Structure 1
């Protein structure tokens, strides 16, 4: 119970830090340079500028980000998972709050520096959030739902939706800004991949002496099949069991937490899974 409370507290702290870094990158680097972010943050940034420039109405980016994510959070609650959606929406609320609190400040007049540093800082925030079993909401949740409906990689949908943002920004405010947006998105993608696994599915191989307890704990949290294989330590000659389970990257945090609670001494090897043939639950 103490370990569970500690992990939940740490996860909330990570989500707060991630949201703060997102807002910092946007208000200090991307907005002053008119370079657009990815996902719903970029949509909110673009809509806020269009409303300000083209209409008598002005709605802040933080408010738009929150409003756009409300229907997506409802969708994620039913289609992705309750815990994942709750933490993702918390990240959105905190990002909206920090976007309102942090003043827009021009750190550099160099648009390339703004694009790169904004993309990197944003990626650190997003990567930490993803690594701890949440997301920054919006596009990530929509891409996951579409991927499960059509059984196509999540990255394809993220790329397509981000491309629409870039094309719209270029059409409305000049293609130079759109090209710098691509630079920012590239930096963001590379850093996220360094922090958080980019692979949609992973295979966990767990060597443990508490196979039954671990199997029960995993099944209580994750709806995934487990293959159990007898194993023996080559040095100690002690009998153990190996549990093999295929999960999505968003379930990795929950699996790590379960292993630490049930058998902290278990040896776990996480492998990238490039393809799956046969039944794999997508709901």
Structure 2
């Protein structure tokens, strides 16, 4: 009974944390869009870039001011439906919440003109948006329909989110340049490049580390690791410690950086005295399944 209550309490806290992270993402992204990109005539990538293009065309055709937040939300709707049937539904629910928060933040964030310099707007807009995207993805959250596409491609190709985003968004911005003028496209590509690098600095799930664990309680550690990480591992029994001459076991496995926090929590619970060594950013020559943690 007590364990059930604690588990329920932890689940509520986790959801609260996710909502808080989505709020932070939404307002950071709205700052990038309304204060930097739109003031510098910079076209973003992804659904936001498409929203900018559609909004510009509609305003030119109707001579009416079109809320970009509504266009942004409307373009995400078909991807919500697609994701609901193709991707994990819990993931899609948080995507809907994230897009709703972002649309609201875009609508209420004023277009404060700090500068119209396109280089400054491109760099700062890209850095802020890239950080906010990486921050959300790091915590297993989706920020819009394009994330579903990016995460699916990353799983299939093994490429980083930043590089995939760079390719897709480059095509979108070049389209904007063809329609509205090439100077805007060149600055927009700069912004997307900065954003992609900022995302990869924060979101390092695709990077892998080799973990070596020296423990006197191998069965407990193995059971917990396989329960929560579902990773294979190599076990070397009868490894004797040189100082105390006690029999120990050595466990070797490879996990992603995103799973590193889970590993730390497991070791604190099961065997806090175990020796854990991590070799960062290792290269894998055989198949390695990317496990999405939502």
Q: TM-score range by the shorter chain?
A: 0.7 to 0.9
> CA 1:170/1:235 → structure 2, altered by over 3 Å: closer, same or farther?
farther
Question: Please, which of 269, 280, 285 is the counterpart of residue 271 of structure 1?
Answer: 280
Question: Please, which of 148, 156, 159 is the counterpart of residue 153 of structure 1?
Answer: 159
Answer yes or no: is 1:72 the counterpart of 2:116. no
> CA 1:242/1:69 → structure 2, altered by over 3 Å: closer, same or farther?
farther
2:3 is matched with none
8 Å contact from structure 1 (residues 144, 154) kept in 2? no
Give, in angstroms, the shift of residue 171 of structure 1.
Answer: 1.0
> CA 1:133/1:235 → structure 2, altered by over 3 Å: closer, same or farther?
farther
Q: Give the 3-state SS of the residue equivalent to 2:122 in structure 1.
A: helix
Deviations 1:144-169 (A, max 9, x none): 324545x4635564333212211111
Q: Give the 3-state SS of the residue equivalent to 1:177 in structure 2.
A: helix
1:25 is matched with 32
Answer yes or no: is 1:14 the counterpart of 2:21. yes
Q: Which moved more, 1:87-96 or 1:215-224?
A: 215-224
- Return the TM-score normalized by structure 2: 0.77
Give the count of matched residue pairs.
Answer: 279
Question: Please, which of 179, 200, 210 is the counterpart of residue 206 of structure 2?
Answer: 200
- How far, CA to CA, are the matches of 2:181 and 2:137 in structure 1? 32
Q: Give the 3-state SS of the residue equivalent to 1:40 in structure 2.
A: helix
- Bigger Rg, structure 1 or 2: 2
Give, in angstroms, the shift of residue 86 of structure 1.
Answer: 3.8
Question: Please, which of 61, 70, 75 is the counterpart of residue 68 of structure 2?
Answer: 61
> CA 1:214/1:28 → structure 2, altered by over 3 Å: closer, same or farther?
farther
Unaligned runs of 5+ in 2: 1-5
- Return the TM-score normalized by structure 1: 0.79
Give, in angstroms, the shift of residue 141 of structure 1.
Answer: 1.7
Unaligned runs of 5+ in 1: none
Give, in angstroms, the shift of residue 259 of structure 1.
Answer: 2.7
- How far, CA to CA, are the matches of 1:218 and 1:109 in structure 2? 52
Deviations 1:11-30 (A, max 9, x none): 43222212210111111111
Q: Which moved more, 1:68-77 or 1:231-240?
A: 231-240
CA-based RMSD of the aligned residues comes to: 3.4
Q: Give the 3-state SS of the residue equivalent to 2:43 in structure 1.
A: coil
